[in-house]
Amino acid sequence: MKKKSTPYDDVYRTMMNDCITLLIPLVNEVFGKHYTGSEKIVFRPNEHFINQQDGHEQKRITDSSFSIISNDGSEEKFIIECQSKNDDTMLIRIFEYITQEALDSGTVSNYQLIVTIPNAAVLFLRSNSNTPDYMNIIINTPGGSVSFDVHIIKVNAYSLQQLFDKNLFFLLPFYIFNLEDDFPKFNKDKKALESLKSVYVDFMLRLENAVDNGLISAYYRRTILDMSKKVLENLAAKYKNVKKGVSDIMGGQVLEHEGKTIYNAGIKEGIAVSEERWRREEKLDTARRLRKMGLSDNDIHQATNLSLDDIRIL
């Protein structure tokens, strides 16, 4: 019942670690919470040792275990797993994770063990009409039965516009899964491929607007793009035209998460200055791609807010 790590798990964990505040809108959406973003997010240990019936211990590593601490000091715990394909052991693993997490933070007093089950969800990168909105765990005890739901997050339940409207930036690297079934068509049909590229032009412009409107930082934008390209490279590995077409729109070859290096350098020089420099460079990158696609200087100016003088010298 050990989960084998995939490139998508790696992308998921990178988003967790490097874009931590993007978890708040996701938690609000999935669990019906109303966090404002001023709360503190604390990651919990993601390694647990499960006692087996034969007396041995087996290590389990969760994709994410974290707490959200509100300004009044109250704390809620969450576990969100990432799943690229369904398997029969998934719900068993979830049960192991959440019960071990509950035990780790449980208290014993006056011969009572008190444990709190964390909020739990699974992000399904692939799903279909038979995929439910919830999974359910039922525990039969001598004192009666208790049950609780494990929420299911379905990437394909959201259009690109909905992801941006709901500020679900955390899910953007996985949006390409929604188009996976059409990869053979995109790969063979140039007109269809152009329609796919137009989707990612829209993707890029919406990201740029999110930075301009202060919804995300330029660093988060760079991370989202880097992780989107990593997902694309693995998902479309057999479809060269798809891989190249989308990669060209998003800026070409993936570097080793270059945003992190630049961000760290920016801390030394001053984050505000670094952010401004990054924003201008990203606008220039977008402008170059739009020019290659044949857009006029005026259209590029409207899309990026760069001056016409800047655009003309590209």
β-bridge pairing 75-83 and 119-124 = parallel
> How far is residue 252 CA from its own chain's centroid?
21
Mean pLDDT of the chain: 84
| 8 A C-beta contact, residue 71 and residue 38 | yes
On the question of pLDDT at 260 being above 60, the answer is no
- pLDDT over 70 percentage in the chain: 83
For the residues of 134-152, what is the DSSP string, one character each? EEEEEEEETTEEEEEEEEE
Q: What percent of the chain has pLDDT over 90?
A: 53
Spatial distance between the Cα atoms of 244 and 107, rounded to a whole number of angstroms: 54
**pLDDT tens-digit map of 267-292:** 555 555 555 666 777 778 778 877 77
Mean pLDDT of 73-96: 87
Check pLDDT > 90 for residue 69. yes
The string of pLDDT tens digits covering residues 45-56 is: 655 444 444 554
Contacts 24+ apart (CB under 8 A), 25-30: 25/166, 25/167, 25/168, 25/169, 25/170, 26/80, 26/153, 26/168, 26/170, 26/171, 27/68, 27/78, 27/119, 29/166, 29/168, 30/80, 30/121, 30/151, 30/153
Q: What confidence tens digit (pLDDT) does each residue in 103-153 have?
A: 888 889 889 999 989 999 999 999 988 899 999 999 999 999 999 999 999
DSSP category for residue 164:
H
Token couple for 123: 């992000």
pLDDT for 166-208, tens place per residue?
999 999 999 999 999 999 999 999 999 999 999 999 999 999 8
**Does the structure show a pLDDT above 90 at 228?**
yes
Rounded Cα distance, 274 and 281, in Å: 11
